[in-house]
Structure 1
Amino acid sequence: MMTTTVPGLDRAPTTHRRLLAWVREMAELTTPDQVVWCDGSDRERDRLTTQLVHAGTLVPSPDEPDSLRVAADPADTARIGDHTYVCSRDPADAGPAGKWMDPVDMKIILTEQFRGAMRGRTMYVVPFRTGPLGEDAELGVQITDSVHTVVSMRALARTGTAALAGFVDYDGAERDFLPYLHSVGAPLAPGQADVPWPCDHTKYLSYFPEERMVWSYGSGHDGAPSLGRQRSALRIASALAREDGRLAEHMLILKLTGVEGTTHFIAAAFPPGCGRTTLATAEPTSPGWQIEALSHDVARLRFGDDGRLYAVDPVAATGGAPWGVPISAILFGGRRGDTVPLITEARNWQHGVFLGATLSTDEAGVVRRNPMAMLPLLGYHLGDYLRHWLDMGTRSDALPAVFLVNWFRRGADGRLLWPGFGENLRVLRWVVERVEGTASGLVTPIGYVPTTAALDLSDVDAPIEDVRAAIAVDDAQWRAELPLIRDWFDTIGDRLPSELRDELHALTRRLAATP
C-alpha cells in the first residue's frame, strides 16, 4: 500500500517538516487503514471513551458514576519489565538493573515486527507537551494504534492542537520533538472484527536514550503503550535532564502549610511499597497544619535565578505555578524493619546524595537498593547519574536539606513502631523546623536525628517507648550495614563517584569511634 492512499495522512494540522516525514515513514512501515491526527478536544475524548466502553476495554464503576476501570488482561500487565530494554550505544549505560540490547540490532528486530502491524487498524498521531509553557516545554509525538493509549495520553499530558502549537517558535523555526511509536501488534485481516489481541505473544518496550526515542510493540498495558506517560518517560527525560543541567525524578511534590501560614515545598522520592501514597493522601493529625500533594508521580527540578532548586510537575505545571515551586527539603524514603531510623537529616548535600544512593528496602530479609527510587527508570548509567546529583550540589549555596525517612521500623516482636499515615506530618514538621533553624537535632554517626522532645508528640497514636525506638540509632546494626553498602557500591563499578566511597569511609570511621 502506498502511503499517499492512506486516508487522513495528508490532513495534517501542521507544516512541521520532520514530523510530517516521520509520520509518513511510520505509516509506510505499519500500513494502517487510516491516519487520525488527534486534536485533544473534549469531543474527541468523549467519542473515544464511548468506543472503549462499547468494546469492553473500559468498564463503568457501579459505585462511582464518573469513574471507569480498565479491563486489562493480567497476562499483559504482569512483568512488563521482562520485555523492557535500554538500547544505548554503551552497554554499561543500561546500568546494573537494566536489560541492554544494541540499538542497531533492536531496530532491525522491531522494524520487522512493525512491518504491517497496523493493517486493518487506525494510526493515531498524538502530539503532546509536558512541562511549563514556552521554550522549557518538552515536546513529543505518540504514534499508536490503541484507542486506550490515546485516551491515556490525554489524561497524562497536554495533547493535540494546543500542544502542536508549540512545535514552531514565534520566528517560524521548527522545534525538535521526541518520537514515540507503539502498536498492539495485532493486524486485522479484511473483514475481521477487532477482538482483544492475545497477550502471550512477542513484546518489546525499547528505549533509545541517545536518539531520544521509544518503540513499544505487542502490549496494551498502560505502562507500555503510553510512552509519554510520566514514569515511562523518565528513561528519556533523565538523560535529557543531565544534558541540560537539571533533574528528572520519580518524586512527588508536597506543599506544607504551618499554623502561621508559612509554606514550604518538599520533593520526596519513595520506591514502591515505601509509604509514598499514604504520605500524599493522609489527613494530618497536627492541628492547624495542612499538606497537599502537587505532584504524585514525577518532577522536573532546576535552579532558579535565586540559586534555589525549583520543582515542577511536567503535566499539571504544579497547580498554576508553571515554572515550579522552591524546594526546601528532599526526602528519600525506604522500607526497613531495623537499622534505619524514622528520620535522618544529611550532614550536607554530598552526604545527602550518599543517603539517596544507598536507599534500601527489605524484601523477605534481603536488602535491595534503589537509588533515589530511580534504578529501574534510568536512561543512562547509574554511576553517571549519581555524579550528576553531586555536580548539581556545586552549582548553588542555597541547596535544599536532604533527609532519609523510614516509616516501617519494627520492634523486637515485629510490630510497627511508628503509626504512620496522618502522624507522618509530625516528622515533616521537624523537617520544616530544621530548615527554618528552630528545631534541635542530635548528632549521630549517620547524621542528625530528632529527640522525642524535638518532635510534636502531643496525643500521638503510639507509646513513647516505641517512638524512642523508632528514632534510635543502633551503632551495631549500622556496622553490620557497612559491608552491604560496600558490596552495593562494587556492583556500580568504576563509574561510582569517589565522593560516595569517601562518605562510606567517613561513616565507617565515625562508627568505629563510638563505644
Structure 2
Amino acid sequence: MLIMGVTRPNGKEHFIAAAFPSACGKTNLAMLEPTLPGWKVRCVGDDIAWMKFGEDGRLYAINPEAGFFGVAPGTSNKTNPMAVGTFQKNSIFTNVAETSEGRYYWEGLEDEIKDKNVEITDWLGNPWKLGDATPAAHPNSRFAAPAKQCPIIHPDWESNSGVPIEAIIFGGRRPEGVPLVFETLGWHHGIFTGACLKSETTAAAEHKGKNVMHDPMAMRPFMGYNFGKYLDHWISLEKAPHKVPKIYHVNWFRKSKEGKFLWPGYGDNIRVIDWIIRRLDGEEGIGMDTAVGVVPSRGSINLDGLSDINWDELMSLPADYWKQDAKEVRKFLEDQVGSDLPNEIREQLEAQEKRIEAL
C-alpha cells in the first residue's frame, strides 16, 4: 500500500492508503502532481504500509521502507516528475538500457532524448537505437532510490506513530466494465471488494499476456497464510473503539471500444481523490447507488479543463459483463477459499449477486 498526504485548497490534510498490484500506478499516485489548483500531495510511502490502531481509535500507518523500488519503463518527467527527481543521485538501476553519455534509458523516455543519434546499449548489452522493435529495457526493469530524496517527501514519513488513514483504496488494471471509482457499501463489503480484486497482468507478474487475473487485496504474491483467515482478520478490526476507514475501488485503465483509455490518469487522478474526500466529509448529492457500490453522480467530479470525457461509458456497469464477473468471482472464492470463506464475506457475495442480477 502507498501512503499519501493530500492537502485541499482549504489547507486541511487527509491521509489515504491505496493497494494496487505491481506496475499499476502506486508510485505515480503516491507522488501525484495535482492538475487542480490549490491541491498538494506529499508522499509518505509508495509500496508498503504497516498499520495499527491508535489510542484514539483511528488507524495509523507507517512506511517501513527506506526507499523506492519502482518500475522504470513509463516513468518520465511527463508521468512522474517527482520520481525522476528522486533518482537523480544515489540510485541503482536494474535491467535498463544505457546511453553513450552514461545515462539511463527505457521505454517512455523517447521525448527526453535530446540527441536522437545517441548510442544506446540495451539491457542485454546489445547495440540499440530508437525505433528498434525489441525493448531497450526489460519491461520489469527497476530504479531504487532513497525516499528522503523525493522532492515531496512528507515531513512525517519517518514518524514512529504514523499518520491517520481516512480511506483505503483498492484498484487494478480493468480494461472493461469497471467504473472509474466507487465507494463500497460498508466495511464488510469493502473487504469483499478487496478480496475480489482483479487486474490485467503486467511484466511485474509471473503470468504473461494480457489476461485479467485475481489479485486479492493486491497481496496475491505475498499472501503468507490461509486467505480465509486473512479475511477474518480484516473483519475482526471493526470493533470498539476502532474507527475503520471507508474503502473505495478505482480503475484508471478502462478503455473505449476503440482501445483508448477513457480517463487521462496521472495528475488528473486528483479529481477522483477530491470526490473521495468530499464523500468522507459526508457531502450529499454526489453519489449514486449501484449494484457494486456508490459511484459519482453526474457532475460531481470536477472535469474543468478536460475534454472528450465519455462520462456514461466511464461510469457504466454493463449488465452482461457484471453477471459473468459474478459467476467467475463465486467460482474463484469457492475454489480458492472454500469452507474457510468467512460467513460475512459469503453474505456479501450473495447480496452482490442479487444486486447484479437485477441490472
- Structure 2 contact 271–303 (Cα < 8 Å) conserved: yes
Deviation for aligned residue 1:436: 0.7
Matches within 5 A, 1:26-425: 251-315=1-65, 318-363=156-201, 364=209, 366-396=211-241, 398-425=243-270
Matches within 5 A, 1:442-457: 442-457=288-303
SS at match of 1:413: coil
Q: Percent identity?
A: 41
- Structure 2 contact 180–315 (Cα < 8 Å) conserved: yes
Deviation for aligned residue 1:463: 1.1
- Structure 1 contact 312–318 (Cα < 8 Å) conserved: no
Report the Cα distance in structure 1 between the residues aligned to 2:64 and 2:24, rounded to whole angstroms.
Answer: 23
Report the Cα distance in structure 2 between the residues aligned to 1:497 and 1:396, rounded to whole angstroms.
Answer: 23
List per-residue Cα deviations over 1:226-256 (Å, max 9, x = no partner): xxxxxxxxxxxxxxxxxxxxxxxxx110100
Runs (5+) with no aligned partner, structure 1? 1-250
**What is the aligned partner in structure 2 of residue 219 from structure 1?**
none
Report the Cα distance in structure 1 between the residues aligned to 2:278 and 2:167, rounded to whole angstroms.
Answer: 11
AA in 1 matched with 2:331: D
Q: Which moved more, 1:342-351 or 1:437-446?
A: 437-446
Deviation for aligned residue 1:397: 5.4
Report the Cα distance in structure 2 between the residues aligned to 1:496 and 1:281, rounded to whole angstroms.
Answer: 36
Note if 1:489 corresponds to 2:333.
yes
**What is the aligned partner in structure 2 of residue 459 from structure 1?**
305
Report the Cα distance in structure 1 between the residues aligned to 2:241 and 2:180, rounded to whole angstroms.
Answer: 29
Of structures 1 and 2, the one with the larger relative CO (CA 8 A, separation 6+) is 2
Distance 1:288 1:393, change over 3 A: same
SS at match of 1:368: strand
- Structure 1 contact 350–393 (Cα < 8 Å) conserved: no
Report the Cα distance in structure 1 between the residues aligned to 2:298 and 2:188, rounded to whole angstroms.
Answer: 27
Deviation for aligned residue 1:512: 2.2
- Structure 2 contact 53–242 (Cα < 8 Å) conserved: no
Report the Cα distance in structure 2 between the residues aligned to 1:258 and 1:357, rounded to whole angstroms.
Answer: 31
In structure 2, which of residues 314, 321, 327 is the aligned counterpart of residue 477 of structure 1? 321
- Structure 2 contact 168–246 (Cα < 8 Å) conserved: yes
AA in 1 matched with 2:198: S
Deviation for aligned residue 1:348: 0.2
Report the Cα distance in structure 1 between the residues aligned to 2:64 and 2:350, rounded to whole angstroms.
Answer: 38
List per-residue Cα deviations over 1:247-268 (Å, max 9, x = no partner): xxxx110100000101100011
List per-residue Cα deviations over 1:337-372 (Å, max 9, x = no partner): 112111010000000001100110124453311111
**What is the aligned partner in structure 1 of residue 106 from structure 2?**
none
Distance 1:396 1:338, change over 3 A: farther
List per-residue Cα deviations over 1:352-393 (Å, max 9, x = no partner): 001100110124453311111111112211111111111112
**What is the aligned partner in structure 2 of residue 438 from structure 1?**
283
AA in 2 matched with 1:360: K
Tell me the TM-score normalized by structure 1: 0.49
Report the Cα distance in structure 2 between the residues aligned to 1:396 and 1:365, rounded to whole angstroms.
Answer: 44
- Structure 2 contact 34–268 (Cα < 8 Å) conserved: yes
Deviation for aligned residue 1:396: 4.2
Q: Which moved more, 1:394-403 or 1:412-421?
A: 394-403
Distance 1:365 1:500, change over 3 A: farther
Report the Cα distance in structure 1 between the residues aligned to 2:58 and 2:199, rounded to whole angstroms.
Answer: 30
The structure carrying a bigger helix percent of its residues is 1
Report the Cα distance in structure 1 between the residues aligned to 2:12 and 2:232, rounded to whole angstroms.
Answer: 34
- Structure 2 contact 263–309 (Cα < 8 Å) conserved: no
Note if 1:500 corresponds to 2:338.
no
Q: How many residues align?
A: 262
SS at match of 2:29: helix
C-alpha RMSD of matched pairs (Å): 1.7
Distance 1:456 1:304, change over 3 A: same
- Structure 1 contact 375–382 (Cα < 8 Å) conserved: no
Distance 1:432 1:445, change over 3 A: same
AA in 2 matched with 1:377: F
Which protein has the larger Cα radius of gyration, Structure 1 or Structure 2? 1
Deviation for aligned residue 1:273: 2.4
